[in-house]
Structure 1
Amino acid sequence: MKTKFLKSILFMALAAGTLTSCVNDDDYNIPALECTETSITATKTVEEIYNQATSVATLYQAADENADDYIEAVVVSSDKGGNFYKTIYLNNIVADENGELRAGNIGFSIQVNQTDLFTDYGVGRKVYIKLDGLYTQIRSNTLQIGALFGSNVGQIPAELYANHIFRACTVIEESKLVNVITDLSQINDSYIGRLIRFEGVQFTDGSLNQTYYNAANVDAGGQTLTYITNSEEETYTLPFRTGSFADYAGTPVATGNGSITGILTKFNTTYQFVSRYATDINLDGERIGELPVEVGDPFFTEDFQAAENNTNFNFDGWYNIAESGVWLWREKVFQENGYAEFSPFGSGSALNEVWMITPAINLDDYSSVSFTFESAQHHLDVDADGNKLEIFIISNFNGTDIVSATKVNVTDQATLPTSATAWYEFVNSGVIDLSGFSGQVHIGFKVTGSGTDTTLDGAFQIDNLTVSGVN
């Protein structure tokens, strides 16, 4: 299986039944366990612990060495659906105007070296956390609590977690835990670690025609990223993360519009959304805009796994041409993942315009043809014409003269990384329709950048090109 890497962060086995939009009706309520109320009371608030935590993992020590400190919180995540692993997300607890308990506005996580945590700590369960002996840390603007692992907060050992996390008998209903968001542009760090229901959303065109977990489309963590949007233009998108053990892993990505519930997380600078189980996905409404073109069956693919690291790109049948400047596309390998990259940094050329062009592709054998690819960037400071990636369909090309060839720019059909995208995070292009073309064509990837202007020296990377046709 090919592994892609992701500096910012799952086999289609585990089908979760058939689903077109709203996926199964399994019962994810808190298990009915006998409960004896604890006598523990909170001595600290989550807000106090958040405010005193730093980016350095720090052992918590109570001011009174003869007394332990506790915080109270409510569980908002669940590992029952298989998409969370050895991590519990919790929120602080507040009382509303009617005195009823609800989740507050501070989300945090606890890592525990134990599975099936939902049996004791189900969604809505109030818990008390004994802080003494644990470490606190702020990472990606999120409070993390746990044991020390290296220099960061890690998992509490299985034999110790019951000495730090105590169940209360109080269970808060989910309606008092969830935060409803209807505009993806509203997302900010205050929602990290909290239970969110996005309404009026759907998956991007490029996320369709695959299952939620797609073994052929995974990141360095072994999980599949699809993307949520709330408009036909896909102005705002949010990565949706699915692992191979999710109960809906083998289900086709829903095409409709509706709501998706889950936990908002953040890796480095990139927000990511993680649903808990199949019933969190409810997309049975009419899709905004038309469905993307039917993809068909792949007939030309390139995963770049034959790349030889740090050499000029030289794949059989492909073309590597500098229209301006002298540097060329390079073959790269990172964490056993091959890809192609062009970086103008250090080239010394004020203008670099460099093409990577596929072998000729015959479109006439199919009634419709489309293609997808993945791209990433690093050190892209601005989104400008002076530093960009463009996609062209090329004909009348003799293999050397790219200037005189017929070129049609189809970049506007593709989803590409921007300066706001985390470095090295591969983004799926979405489906690019070639139904308006015929005969022999080439696909051209052109990067423009500068080797003398440091604001225009960002690099672009290409991976996993797939051309598909419908007979």
Structure 2
Amino acid sequence: MKKYNSVLKYIFVAAASLFVVTGCVQDDKYNQPNLDGYDCADKKGIVVPFADVKAKYVPNGEAYVFPEDTTPNNESDDLYMVGYVSSSDETGNIYKTIYIQDALENPTHGFTISVDAVSNYTKYPQGSKVYVKLNGLAVGNYGTLVQLGVKTGTEIKGAVSRIPEKLVGKYIFRSCAPKGNIVPKVMKLSDMTAANDQYFGCLIEINDVEFDARALCTTYAPNGVTVDKTIGEGWANGKYAKTAVVRNSGYASFASQMIPSGKGKFVGIYSKFTTTYQLYINKSEDLKMTNFPRLDGLNSGPCDFDQSMLTPKTVAEIKQLAAGTTNWVQITGDFSLKAQVVANDETGNLYKYVYVEDATGGIRVNMNKTNLYLDSRFRLGKDVNIKLKNLYVRSVNGEVQLGSLFSNNTQFGQIEEAEMYKYFFDSNTTARAVVPTEKTISQLTMADVGRLIKIKDVQFVNGDLGKTLTDGTNVTSRTLEDCSGNTIVLRTSGQAKFGNYVPGSYEVKGGKGDVYAALSVYNGTYQLWITRLANIDFDAPRCDGSIYTPLPVIYSDSFSAGGFGSDWTIVNKVGPNQFWQSVNLGGNGSNYYAYMNGNSGGNIANEDWLISKAVSLVGKTKAAVSFTSDVRYSGNALQVYATDNYTGDVGTTNWTPLSVTLDTNTGGFGDWVGSGNVDLSAYLGKNVVIAFKYTSTTSAAATWQIDDFKIKGE
């Protein structure tokens, strides 16, 4: 017989496991599938208590692998956990996980089993007794949650992988006994402490709880996206005494259902990720949360929109309320607005606001919430109903916006997330195509501000060609012009998915075409905000008939090899043992860059050069150099030079300074800024050398980083 610590300590439990359970309460409540024809088995062997399995994993240690079964024809010495399935993945909210507990009622422990299989409810329905063969399985953790799986050797330390689908039946056996009725263990949110971690994986019931105000009038989850909602219990001093996270999958069959807005009973699987206690819903019918008043004082369901009690207003009428004043104006009438969402924050170029539009105009609506596009009310093309009473309008730098007050009613801005349910109501209609208003630059008026605009036949000005849409992570202005020379500003956030510069990111298109964008205004200057790259369709020849093509790269170095090699010369003129290096301080093995820092236990005076090899521009009619830079800490700006006759001595070489765009945000790393295409026409027909000169003083020493170096020409 195999040894498993002291086998004697399990003799009594092993004997108990030989008895076959022949009668459990039949449960038809959950409409589980007919399991006729599925294999079942009642196993003999050594039953290992849940607590002992969990104890095999040592926090911060390696995953523990139970000994393999060396006598497959002898069940009596196999190791088993015996429990009851507490979960069901029938609705799709629980994914590739089987949760079990050690009793149908009043469990003392629960457990999590990670499997690479779906529709587990068809073979292991909720309430069924299962035998989990431990031989060959591993116990480890994911996000501090101890669970069973397999060890492949590719996991991070202490983690386990999912049990492959073809092996699930080898390790998990359903008993031939009828499935029983899992009676949820009654707990409070306040019980969710380390003292009760043994219940992870159990089905629990929590009473007198409610979803917090931020979740009201929203769905469980957006399509295809997993989100967290919060439930709370107790109420004192304007907040819940205790809260917990409810984790909802956008693939669940109930994902598009509205979250219950009352208080009552919540039933779900108890779990944890790192330090956050989590709950998973098996099915929405398990929630009985329809009672009012709520803990927060709400007396009735807030999500029904009754137009009969409201006077409809148009966007133009709302804007008129702020005419002639720069102060905020409160809307006091029982008014409503129905308008279409024409621009949202799906790509991150808009932040915490959307634009809505009706036949009379468009307006910006400010909300203190990110990822508004995931909310069914603010999907592109949807009509949203807005109750206007108690909201505010204000002209902000010339643009009339809709919002609320904050900071003790001293500032105008965003509507708080917890207040959004009071004002925004899903129209429950399908999204309509967003039709832009077509204008030329010279035709734009203040009445167009807030609308989605289409401007035909525009192009980026020559000075923007070769640049990316943004410099770093901040908002950057680029200029569009029509063929008559009229111009308009295009604003792009570096936080947009297409904005922040990374090597190989989007370079502005050099052709001519149409732009689709929300129109704003700032102190009399019209500005455009696109919401996706497809809104810039510039593939036609430019206004002068030319076809712009980016200059081909004839030499490049991203420093990814981790060293400069023979292509670069490092010169240290001033300073002790500090010089340009190729480093990777971010932990990404492929993201090396050139780096110079003049601080070593204090600021030190330095002069250090990084000099490229000579690159031939013979036969070229156009040439440019480009790179990205990142700076942190105050100090001298990096200087960039070019020469066609490097003597080998930086002091005797005739250097020409180049006018380049550099990062100016000294507050942090990571906001790489593109230099743009820096003209090298003075070196056509010659061999050009580029140099970066770093200097620091005893009072200031910046850190400079250079990457994605390219010399281009044709």
Q: TM-score, normalised by structure 2?
A: 0.38
Instruction: Tell me how far apart the structure 2 counterparts of residues 299 and 371 of structure 1 sit (CA, whole Å).
Output: 14
Judging changes above 3 Å, is the alpha-carbon distance between structure 1 residues 303 and 171 closer, same or farther for their aligned structure 2 residues? same
Matched with 2:164 is 157
Establish whether residue 239 from structure 1 lines up as the match of residue 227 from structure 2.
no
Judging changes above 3 Å, is the alpha-carbon distance between structure 1 residues 248 and 411 closer, same or farther for their aligned structure 2 residues? farther
Establish whether residue 143 from structure 1 lines up as the match of residue 146 from structure 2.
yes
Deviation at residue 224 of structure 1 after TM alignment: 2.5
Judging changes above 3 Å, is the alpha-carbon distance between structure 1 residues 409 and 358 closer, same or farther for their aligned structure 2 residues? farther
Judging changes above 3 Å, is the alpha-carbon distance between structure 1 residues 62 and 241 closer, same or farther for their aligned structure 2 residues? same
Contact 1:196 1:263 in 2 (8 A): yes
Judging changes above 3 Å, is the alpha-carbon distance between structure 1 residues 29 and 302 closer, same or farther for their aligned structure 2 residues? closer
The structure showing larger relative contact order (alpha-carbon pairs under 8 Å, at least 6 residues apart) is 1
Q: What per-residue deviation string (whole Å, max 9, x for no partner) do you get for residues 145-195 of structure 1?
A: 11125222121112211111111134564354x1112x4222124232221
In percent, how many aligned pairs have the same letter? 25
Matched with 1:305 is 347
Deviation at residue 397 of structure 1 after TM alignment: 7.2
Deviation at residue 227 of structure 1 after TM alignment: 1.8
Q: Equivalent residue of 2:54, what SS?
A: helix
Instruction: Tell me how far apart the structure 2 counterparts of residues 165 and 410 of structure 1 sit (CA, whole Å).
Output: 58
Instruction: Tell me how far apart the structure 1 counterparts of residues 405 and 112 of structure 2 sit (CA, whole Å).
Output: 51
Instruction: Tell me how far apart the structure 2 counterparts of residues 303 and 38 of structure 1 sit (CA, whole Å).
Output: 55
Q: Equivalent residue of 1:111, what SS?
A: strand
Deviation at residue 279 of structure 1 after TM alignment: 1.6
Q: What per-residue deviation string (whole Å, max 9, x for no partner) do you get for residues 406-459 of structure 1?
A: 9751599xxxxxxxxxxxxxx965528799xxxxxxxxxxxxxxx9xxxxx9xx
Counterpart among 32, 44, 62 of residue 40 in structure 1: 44
The one-letter amino acid of 1:185's match is: S
- Counterparts of 1:315-334 in structure 2, within 5 Å, are none
- Counterparts of 1:348-427 in structure 2, within 5 Å, are 371-374=367-370, 408-409=406-407
Instruction: Tell me how far apart the structure 1 counterparts of residues 114 and 68 of structure 2 sit (CA, whole Å).
Output: 21
Name the structure with the higher helix share.
Answer: 2
Q: Which moved more, 1:55-64 or 1:122-131?
A: 55-64
Instruction: Tell me how far apart the structure 2 counterparts of residues 358 and 36 of structure 1 sit (CA, whole Å).
Output: 55
Contact 2:68 2:136 in 1 (8 A): no
Deviation at residue 143 of structure 1 after TM alignment: 2.3
Q: What per-residue deviation string (whole Å, max 9, x for no partner) do you get for residues 4-44 of structure 1?
A: xxxxxxxxxxxxxxxxxxxxx98334644367552423432
Q: Equivalent residue of 1:241, what SS?
A: strand
Q: Any unmatched runs of 5+ in structure 1?
A: 1-24, 94-100, 308-314, 316-338, 341-356, 360-364, 376-392, 400-405, 413-426, 436-450, 452-456, 458-471
Matched with 1:207 is 215
Counterpart among 117, 142, 145 of residue 114 in structure 1: 117
Establish whether residue 129 from structure 1 lines up as the match of residue 135 from structure 2.
no
Matched with 1:80 is 90
Deviation at residue 276 of structure 1 after TM alignment: 0.4
Deviation at residue 86 of structure 1 after TM alignment: 1.4
- Superposition CA RMSD, Å: 4.5
Number of residue pairs aligned between Structure 1 and Structure 2: 319
Matched with 1:166 is 173
Instruction: Tell me how far apart the structure 2 counterparts of residues 202 and 244 of structure 1 sit (CA, whole Å).
Output: 21
- Counterparts of 1:279-298 in structure 2, within 5 Å, are 279-288=285-294, 289-290=297-298
Instruction: Tell me how far apart the structure 1 counterparts of residues 165 and 409 of structure 2 sit (CA, whole Å).
Output: 51
The one-letter amino acid of 1:184's match is: L
Counterpart among 409, 420, 427 of residue 431 in structure 1: 420
Matched with 1:90 is 100
- Counterparts of 1:219-234 in structure 2, within 5 Å, are 222-231=225-234, 233-234=238-239
Instruction: Tell me how far apart the structure 2 counterparts of residues 160 and 434 of structure 1 sit (CA, whole Å).
Output: 52
Establish whether residue 187 from structure 1 lines up as the match of residue 192 from structure 2.
yes
Instruction: Tell me how far apart the structure 2 counterparts of residues 268 and 245 of structure 1 sit (CA, whole Å).
Output: 24
The one-letter amino acid of 1:49's match is: V
Contact 1:255 1:287 in 2 (8 A): no
Contact 2:269 2:281 in 1 (8 A): yes
Instruction: Tell me how far apart the structure 2 counterparts of residues 195 and 147 of structure 1 sit (CA, whole Å).
Output: 24
Contact 2:343 2:354 in 1 (8 A): no
The one-letter amino acid of 1:40's match is: K
Deviation at residue 299 of structure 1 after TM alignment: 6.2
Matched with 2:55 is 51
Q: TM-score, normalised by structure 1?
A: 0.56
Instruction: Tell me how far apart the structure 1 counterparts of residues 251 and 49 of structure 2 sit (CA, whole Å).
Output: 34
Contact 2:41 2:173 in 1 (8 A): no
Judging changes above 3 Å, is the alpha-carbon distance between structure 1 residues 205 and 44 closer, same or farther for their aligned structure 2 residues? same
Deviation at residue 306 of structure 1 after TM alignment: 4.8
